[in-house]
């Protein structure tokens, strides 16, 4: 990878998400060489992906060039590449852009969509973990509406404007709310020659309640918000199949739908080569101790979604969200420096700042560690926290401009099909479409 | 296409560019049925494509949903589709989404890149007439830099950061200027481990001077600006071939380059079926009279780039730019209403407001009909005119925010490879790249 060999210990970080960037910042200008590898040249602010998918924000507003973050760091190298494998024997990462020796390795690869082995669902549904995927969903929703105008077959038309969102976590809930807002304020004006009242938004949750990592009070408030917005919330229903037209479930409920958005599960985005004893099967996350050291390795660490720091208090590890990732990244930076200087490491302590989700205009739920609230004030808190968390002044300013405009005008002008997307015809897609 | 048949005369407009949108606005709520067909669901503000290509603006900031423009128009239908052919005998357009009868047809299909029949150049170079193409160029530039870091072969590295822009019109000039700004302010900071001084920007013009539709004074000023920015301006050189690595010319000048951006020619984007007598060979534009009627047809009109209104004063028709297109669109709307009401039509009169181009920060050239100027004030005029011309308040606000930020911080944060693009590997591209 053309990284100069120096006397400095080399720390290789795989992944420029919340965890990787926090670690990079924490290692800024220490006496180490840092190589950060990511498959994108930008950091993605994942909590706002659903707004890109529904045309409320542009992709560039929630992406930030990684090179810009690390521009002024000494002995810092960014490489755009995808790491397939770790050779722990020879202390090397193997990527599509070549191999690289490491002294310390940090897995910050995050998580990817988990279809639980169902290839049919994987093939026919769409996921929303990355910006390209969000843009695909945006195109797909709009293409379906355009196509619905062209058909006289009532069955086809219904299927084209019947949306099925699988998974009642924050992503599914926020996306359902945003779609419901589009149905209310935008689509009837854009498609006067279509009966938009017939558009259905179905949110399917396998468990007892949506947002099941939040408080029961917040789950209930979110569900009430969604139902008021006209979303059909199906609980205790598990999707078992989707052939591209019919969604089957473990009950006798079925859906005819051209669009299934799958947010029902995640798994670690784990390169191969890590000892299987350190891996939680199916979840593909790696077990780490309280110093984020991967089980069985002295110089391999994991932070963020990929890391499972199991304890009696957290039998499944920390929640797979931005907050633990950022805190672990920052903490590990300090610990690695300690380790290099042969000082004792400090066990990670998670500072739970709470969690939140927005359901739509003026509607959000917020769980603070000791206090739950929802409604307009919660929504302002949500706005403030998300604006504040975005990297970069320009992104903050542009997102705020968009949000004020969208709020006042009840509009979302990003309803653009820049790259057409039809899941079934992926092969007919050409990059230089004009 | 599922358009209801009414007693109103049906006007079919092909194309939602400057001409088509101006015509649509001009026909707003007249006693006619209007069907606007475009292959994109958005209007593109083409003069700023080069800023999308160089990361200064996001795609969404220069695109505007066509449905939003026509949302409140009565008897107005938008259809997303591509028209292949006109059946003038039966008064029908034939599109990929079905056929449609017309009473009046307006070709507002604009222009596309002209490779003058050179398939090799077409295959290996990239064009910049659409938003997807601009995003491809953005990705390509950044991918080349990332790749240049990885190679130890000096020849390859040179080729990857050697840029050849063919065509010295406004597009080539503005793109060259923007690349030169990136070379100066951004790339050395982003790629500290690469010698960015070795990056070359070559602008190749076949004629005597660049911007040859502008005044000689402006051509000279623009050339001086470019040369000061470090661009190599080659005049009287015609590119004859490009095999993906070597650019050959009609002189003994050659270039080793991984990136050739072709802006050297345009031709009409003409559907088939129009009588060949009405078509200007090679240019693929249609001859129209002073009422924008296509030669030989009573109820077929053409406006904008596709229309050639030849006269002694304008032996090649009006310039293929936004101004004549918008003026013709507005004018034709009034003429069609006159025609339906059996009133005499008014011959089109072009109001030449001048032309302009920007070369970079504080640098622009402006030609008013009787007055030419360049420099900082010209640049402010350019900024003001372009902001003012953008459709929509949100786009204006976001573009202004970006420009202020970019100006103050000497930065462009849109340097994001959202969809990787390598011209040679188009087939390996998949839509749901993650």
pLDDT in tens, A335-394: 999 999 999 999 999 999 999 999 999 999 999 998 999 999 999 999 999 999 999 999
Candidates B64, B397, B423; nearest CB to A401: B397
Say how far apart CA B293 and CA B286 lie, in whole Å.
10
Both tokens of residue B200?
């070359």
Write the pLDDT tens digit of every residue in A73-124: 999 999 999 999 999 999 999 999 999 999 999 999 999 999 999 999 999 9
Give me the numbers of helices (H) and strands (E) for chain A, helices first please.
12, 25
**Contacts with B190 (C-beta within 8 Å, 6 or more apart), sequence order:** A65, A67, A68, A71, B145, B415
Query: What length is written for chain B?
Result: 434
Calculate mean pLDDT across residues B61-82: 96
Helix residue ranges, H only, A3-130:
18-26, 49-53, 66-69, 119-124
What is the torsion angle, in degrees rounded to the nearest 10, for the CA atoms of residue A227, residue A231, residue A234 and residue A239?
-160
Chain A residues close to B413, C-beta within 8 Å: 60, 64-65, 68, 392, 394-395
Active-site annotation holds for B174: yes
Chain A residues close to B149, C-beta within 8 Å: 2, 79
Percent of chain B with pLDDT over 90: 93
Say how far apart CA A267 and CA A111 lie, in whole Å.
5
Say how far apart CA B380 and CA B400 lie, in whole Å.
12
Calculate mean pLDDT across residues A269-284: 96
**Contacts with A78 (C-beta within 8 Å, 6 or more apart), sequence order:** A16, A35, A36, A37, A38, A41, A66, A67, A70
Calculate mean pLDDT across residues B178-202: 95
Pair B401, A394: CB distance under 8 Å? yes
Instruction: Return the residue in A41, A110, A188, A267 with the most chain B beta carbons within 10 A, the one to mutate for interface testing.
Output: A41
Burial class of residue A91 in the structure, from the number of CB atoms within 10 Å of its CB (0-12 exposed, 13-18 middle, 19+ buried): middle
Pair A289, A309: CB distance under 8 Å? yes
DSSP A122-185: HHHSB--SSHHHHHHHHHHHHHHHHHHHH---HHHHHHHTEEEEE--SHHHHHHHHHHHHHHHH
* Distance set, CA A383 to CA A55, A56, A351, B75 (Å): 17, 14, 21, 39
Q: Is the pLDDT of residue A431 over 80?
A: no
Say how far apart CA B354 and CA B356 lie, in whole Å.
7
Write the pLDDT tens digit of every residue in B139-181: 999 999 999 999 989 999 999 999 999 999 999 999 999 999 9
Closest to B177 measured CA to CA, from B361, B425, B426:
B361
Pair A10, A319: CB distance under 8 Å? no
Nearest chain B residue (CA) to A144: B80
Candidates A392, A405, A430; nearest CB to B413: A392
**Contacts with B261 (C-beta within 8 Å, 6 or more apart), sequence order:** B125, B126, B127, B128, B137, B163, B164, B165, B166, B172, B175
Candidates A132, A142, A394; nearest CB to B413: A394
* Cβ neighbours of A193 (radius 10 Å): 11
Q: Is the pLDDT of residue B268 over 90?
A: yes
CB contact under 8 A, B426 and A429: no
Q: Can you give the pLDDT at residue A374?
A: 96
Q: Can you give the pLDDT at residue A422?
A: 74
Q: Is the pLDDT of residue B255 over 60?
A: yes
Write the pLDDT tens digit of every residue in A289-346: 999 999 999 999 999 999 999 999 889 899 999 999 999 999 999 999 999 999 999 9
Nearest chain A residue (CA) to B143: A80
Q: Can you give the pLDDT at residue B278?
A: 97
- What positions of A carry a catalytic annotation? 174
Both tokens of residue B421?
């693009």
**Contacts with B330 (C-beta within 8 Å, 6 or more apart), sequence order:** B22, B23, B25, B26
What is the distance of C-alpha B190 from the center of its chain? 29
Strand partners of residue B12 = B35, B105
Containing H/E element for A232? Answer: strand A232-234
Containing H/E element for A33? Answer: strand A33-38
Instruction: Return the residue in A29, A413, A420 with the most chain B beta carbons within 10 A, the one to mutate for interface testing.
Output: A413
Chain B residues close to A434, C-beta within 8 Å: 112, 129-130, 132-133
Residue recorded with tokens 């769980």: A367
Calculate mean pLDDT across residues B376-393: 94
Calculate mean pLDDT across residues B300-317: 95
Which residue of the set B120, B122, B143, B174 is catalytic? B174
Domains belonging to chain A, first-starting first, are: 10-39+81-113+266-340 (3.50.50.60), 119-264+361-423 (3.50.50.100)
Closest approach of A269 to chain B, Cα-based (Å): 12
Calculate mean pLDDT across residues A269-280: 97
Say how far apart CA B46 and CA B23 lie, in whole Å.
18
Can you tell me the ipTM of this complex? 0.93
**Contacts with A235 (C-beta within 8 Å, 6 or more apart), sequence order:** A168, A205, A207, A208, A209, A210
Say how far apart CA A100 and CA A3 lie, in whole Å.
8
Chain A residues close to B411, C-beta within 8 Å: 68, 394
Query: What length is written for chain A?
Result: 434
Specify the 3-state DSSP secondary structure of A107.
strand
Chain B residues close to A123, C-beta within 8 Å: none
Closest approach of A161 to chain B, Cα-based (Å): 17
Write the pLDDT tens digit of every residue in A194-217: 999 999 999 999 999 999 999 999
Q: Can you give the pLDDT at residue A427?
A: 36
Both tokens of residue B273?
């079926």
Pair B324, B115: CB distance under 8 Å? no
Nearest chain A residue (CA) to B422: A431
Question: What does residue B196 show for φ and ψ, rounded to 5 degrees?
Answer: -70, -20
Q: Label residue B304 by pLDDT band (50, 70, 90).
A: very high
Pair A272, A251: CB distance under 8 Å? no
CB contact under 8 A, A402 and B402: no
Strand partners of residue A372 = A367
Q: Can you give the pLDDT at residue B423?
A: 52
Closest to A107 measured CA to CA, from A46, A33, A29, A23:
A23
What is the torsion angle, in degrees rounded to the nearest 10, for the CA atoms of residue B323, residue B325, residue B326 and residue B328?
120
Chain A residues close to B421, C-beta within 8 Å: 431-432
Both tokens of residue B17?
């560019």
Q: Is the pLDDT of residue A433 over 70?
A: no
Q: Label residue A432 by pLDDT band (50, 70, 90).
A: very low
Closest approach of A183 to chain B, Cα-based (Å): 15
**Contacts with B434 (C-beta within 8 Å, 6 or more apart), sequence order:** A112, A129, A130, A132, A133
CB contact under 8 A, B419 and A419: yes
Compute the count of residue pairs across chains A and B with CB atoms less than 8 Å apart: 186
Write the pLDDT tens digit of every residue in A23-55: 999 999 999 999 999 999 999 999 999 999 999
- Residue A235, by phi and psi: left (phi above 0), alpha (psi -120 to 50) or beta? beta
CB contact under 8 A, A68 and B413: yes
Q: Average model confidence (pLDDT) for chain A? A: 94
* Distance set, CA B72 to CA A56, B24, B76, B140 (Å): 21, 12, 9, 40
Say how far apart CA B402 and CA A400 lie, in whole Å.
13
Closest to B129 measured CA to CA, from B211, B50, B244:
B50
Q: Average model confidence (pLDDT) for chain B? A: 94
Closest approach of A64 to chain B, Cα-based (Å): 7
DSSP A240-309: EEE-SSEEEESSS-EEE-SEEEE-S-EEE-PPBTS-GGGEETTTTEEEB-TT-BBTT-SSEEE-GGGEE-
* Distance set, CA B320 to CA B213, B265, B274, B324, B384 (Å): 10, 11, 20, 7, 22
Say how far apart CA A17 and CA B108 lie, in whole Å.
45
What's the start-to-end Cα distance of chain B, in Å? 35
Q: Label residue A423 by pLDDT band (50, 70, 90).
A: low
Write the pLDDT tens digit of every residue in B400-428: 999 999 999 999 999 999 999 875 443 33
* Cβ neighbours of A397 (radius 10 Å): 19
Say how far apart CA A360 and CA A369 lie, in whole Å.
23
Say how far apart CA A203 and CA A210 lie, in whole Å.
9
Q: Label residue A1 by pLDDT band (50, 70, 90).
A: confident
Pair B352, B368: CB distance under 8 Å? no
Nearest chain B residue (CA) to A421: B431
Chain B residues close to A98, C-beta within 8 Å: 150
Residue recorded with tokens 């491809």: B136
Candidates B126, B415, B434; nearest CB to A132: B434
Q: Can you give the pLDDT at residue A91?
A: 97
Percent of chain A with pLDDT over 70: 97
Compute the 3-state secondary structure of chain B and give helix, strand, coil in percent, each to the nearest 5. Answer: 35, 25, 40
């Amino acid at each position: 990878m053309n990284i100069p060999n120096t006397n400095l210990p080399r720390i290789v970080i795989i992944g420029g998400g919340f965890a990787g960037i926090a670690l990079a910042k924490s290692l800024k200008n220490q006496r180490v060489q840092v190589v950060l590898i990511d498959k994108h040249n930008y950091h993605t602010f994942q909590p706002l992906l659903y707004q890109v998918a529904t045309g409320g924000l542009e992709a560039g507003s929630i992406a930030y060039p990684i090179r810009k973050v690390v521009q002024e760091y000494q002995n810092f190298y960014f490489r755009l590449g995808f790491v397939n494998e770790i050779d722990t024997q020879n202390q090397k990462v193997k990527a599509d852009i070549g191999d690289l020796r490491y002294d310390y390795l940090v897995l910050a690869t995050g998580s990817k969509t988990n279809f639980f082995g169902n290839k049919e669902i994987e093939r026919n549904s769409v996921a929303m973990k990355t910006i390209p995927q969000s843009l695909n969903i945006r195109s797909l929703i709009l293409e379906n509406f355009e196509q619905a105008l062209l058909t006289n077959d009532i069955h086809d038309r219904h299927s084209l404007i019947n949306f099925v969102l699988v998974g009642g976590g924050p992503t599914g809930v926020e996306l359902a709310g945003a779609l419901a807002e589009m149905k209310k304020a935008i689509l009837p004006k854009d498609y006067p020659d279509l009966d938009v009242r017939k558009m259905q938004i179905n949110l399917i949750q396998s468990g007892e309640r949506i947002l099941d990592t939040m408080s029961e009070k917040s789950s209930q408030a979110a569900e009430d918000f969604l139902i008021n917005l006209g979303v059909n919330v199906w609980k205790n229903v598990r999707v078992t199949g989707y052939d591209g037209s019919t969604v089957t479930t473990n009950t006798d409920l079925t859906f005819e739908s051209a669009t299934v958005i799958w947010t029902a599960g995640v798994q670690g985005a784990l390169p191969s080569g890590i000892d299987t004893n350190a891996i939680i099967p199916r979840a593909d996350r790696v077990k780490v101790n309280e110093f984020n050291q991967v089980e069985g390795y002295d110089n391999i660490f994991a932070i963020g979604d990929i890391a499972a720091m199991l304890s009696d208090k957290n039998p499944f590890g920390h929640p797979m969200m931005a907050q633990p990732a950022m805190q672990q990244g920052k903490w590990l930076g300090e610990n690695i420096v300690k380790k290099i200087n042969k000082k004792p490491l400090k066990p990670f302590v998670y500072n739970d700042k709470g969690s939140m989700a927005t359901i739509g205009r003026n509607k959000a739920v917020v769980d603070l560690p000791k206090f739950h609230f929802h409604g307009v004030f919660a929504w302002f808190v949500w706005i403030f926290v998300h604006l504040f968390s975005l990297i970069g002044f320009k992104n903050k300013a542009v997102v705020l401009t968009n949000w004020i405009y969208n709020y006042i005008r009840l509009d979302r002008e990003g309803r653009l099909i820049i790259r057409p997307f039809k899941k079934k015809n992926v092969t007919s897609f050409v990059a230089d479409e004009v």
